[in-house]
C-alpha cells in the first residue's frame, strides 16, 4: 500500500499535458473508452460490462474532481490508492487506473460525455450509481473539507446521473457528517454566480474580453455540430445541446451581474 501510494503520488506530480502519450480527445470518447476497455480486458479483469464501465468512469472522474480546485492533494492520492486496493487490482489494472486518473485531470477531459456513457449503461443499477457518487464524495472529502468547486462538480455529476437531491444529501451526510449540510447551505447562497463563473472558467474579477473569449471558446468546443462531426450518437448530441444552453445561461448571468454590454 505504501509503495503504491508513493508510485501513484510521483506519477501524479510528474505528469504534464505534454508528457501524455495521447490527449483525451485525440479520438472520440467512444474510441477512448473502447481502448480503455480493451486494456482492462487484457489485464485479466473479469467484472462484466457494469463493473468495467464503473472502473473506467470512476477513476477518470476522480482525476477530474481531484484537479478541479487546481491541485491534487496527497490525501486525494492516498484515497485513490485505497480504492485500488479495495478493488483488489493487479499491477496492470493499477497502471490503467492511474492512467485514467491522469487523463481525467486534463483540461480537455469531457466529463459530461463520460458520465453520459456511464449512466446509459448503468442507469438500471441504481446501487452502482450511488456507489459511484459516494466514492467521488469520499475523494472530495479526503482532506477533511469540501470546497465550492468540488461541490459544484458533484452537483453536476448527480444531475447527469439522475441522482435525486434527497439521495445525494443522504450520501453526503454519511460521508461528511453534519458538515455536509453546512457546506451545501453555503454553496446554495452563492451558487448562481459561482456556477456561472466556474462553468465559463472565469472569476468574478475577469474583464469583459476575458469572459467573452471564454464563452466563445466553450461554445466552439461543445457545439453540437462539432460533436456530430466526432461521430457522436443522439444522446451525446442531446447532451451537447444541454451543455451549450448552460454555457449561454452562464454567460448571460455574468454579463448581467457585471453590467457588461
**Residue 46 CB burial class (10 angstroms; 0-12, 13-18, ≥19):** exposed
Q: Could you tell me the residue ranges of all domains in the chain?
A: 2-190, 201-261
Least confident range of 102-106, 175-179, 214-218? 175-179
Chain-wide mean pLDDT for the chain? 81
- Choose between 194 and 70: higher pLDDT: 70
Confidence of residue 7 (pLDDT cuts 50, 70, 90): very low
What backbone phi and psi angles, to 5 degrees, belong to 107? -60, -30
Confidence of residue 86 (pLDDT cuts 50, 70, 90): very high
CATH architecture for the domain at 2-190:
Orthogonal Bundle (1.10)
Alpha-carbon Rg for the chain in angstroms: 18
Give the list of residues 6+ apart from residue 80 with CB closer than 8 angstroms, or none.
Answer: 8, 59, 62, 66, 97, 101, 139
Dihedral of alpha carbons 118, 106, 225, 241, sign: positive
**Residue 237 CB burial class (10 angstroms; 0-12, 13-18, ≥19):** middle
Dmax over Cα atoms in the chain, in whole Å?
58
Is the pLDDT at 192 greater than 80? The verdict is no
pLDDT tens digits, one per residue of 116-166 = 999 999 999 989 999 999 999 999 999 888 888 888 889 889 988 988 887
* pTM of the full structure: 0.64
pLDDT tens digits, one per residue of 153-173 = 898 899 889 888 878 888 888
Specify the pLDDT at position 24.
Answer: 41
Contact between residue 205 and residue 170 where contact means Cβ atoms under 8 Å apart: no
Q: In angstroms, how far is CA 20 from the centroid of its own chain?
A: 19
Contact between residue 250 and residue 200 where contact means Cβ atoms under 8 Å apart: yes
* Strand runs labelled E in 120-242: none
Amino acid at each position: 500500500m505504501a509503495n503504491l501510494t508513493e508510485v501513484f503520488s510521483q506519477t501524479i506530480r510528474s505528469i504534464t499535458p505534454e508528457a501524455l502519450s495521447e490527449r483525451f480527445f485525440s479520438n472520440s470518447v467512444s474510441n477512448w473508452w473502447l481502448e480503455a476497455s480493451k486494456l482492462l480486458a487484457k489485464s485479466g479483469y473479469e467484472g462484466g460490462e457494469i463493473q468495467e464501465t464503473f472502473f473506467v468512469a470512476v477513476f477518470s472522474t476522480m482525476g477530474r474532481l481531484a484537479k478541479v480546485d487546481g491541485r491534487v492533494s496527497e490525501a486525494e492520492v492516498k484515497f485513490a490508492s485505497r480504492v485500488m486496493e479495495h478493488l483488489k487490482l493487479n499491477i496492470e489494472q493499477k497502471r490503467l487506473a492511474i492512467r485514467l486518473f491522469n487523463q481525467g485531470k486534463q483540461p480537455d477531459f469531457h466529463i459530461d460525455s463520460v458520465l453520459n456513457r456511464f449512466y446509459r449503461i448503468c442507469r438500471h443499477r441504481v446501487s452502482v450509481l450511488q456507489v459511484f457518487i459516494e466514492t467521488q464524495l469520499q475523494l472530495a472529502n479526503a482532506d477533511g473539507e469540501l470546497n465550492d468547486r468540488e461541490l459544484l462538480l458533484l452537483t453536476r455529476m448527480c444531475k447527469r446521473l439522475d441522482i435525486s437531491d434527497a439521495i445525494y444529501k443522504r450520501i453526503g451526510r454519511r460521508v461528511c457528517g453534519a458538515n455536509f449540510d453546512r457546506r451545501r447551505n453555503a454553496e446554495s447562497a452563492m451558487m448562481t454566480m459561482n456556477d456561472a463563473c466556474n462553468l465559463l472558467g472565469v472569476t468574478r474579477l475577469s474583464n469583459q474580453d476575458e469572459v467573452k473569449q471564454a464563452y466563445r471558446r466553450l461554445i466552439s468546443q461543445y457545439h453540437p455540430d462539432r460533436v456530430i462531426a466526432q461521430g457522436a450518437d443522439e444522446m451525446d448530441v442531446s447532451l451537447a445541446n444541454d451543455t451549450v444552453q448552460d454555457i449561454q445561461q452562464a454567460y448571460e448571468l455574468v454579463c448581467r451581474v457585471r453590467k457588461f454590454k
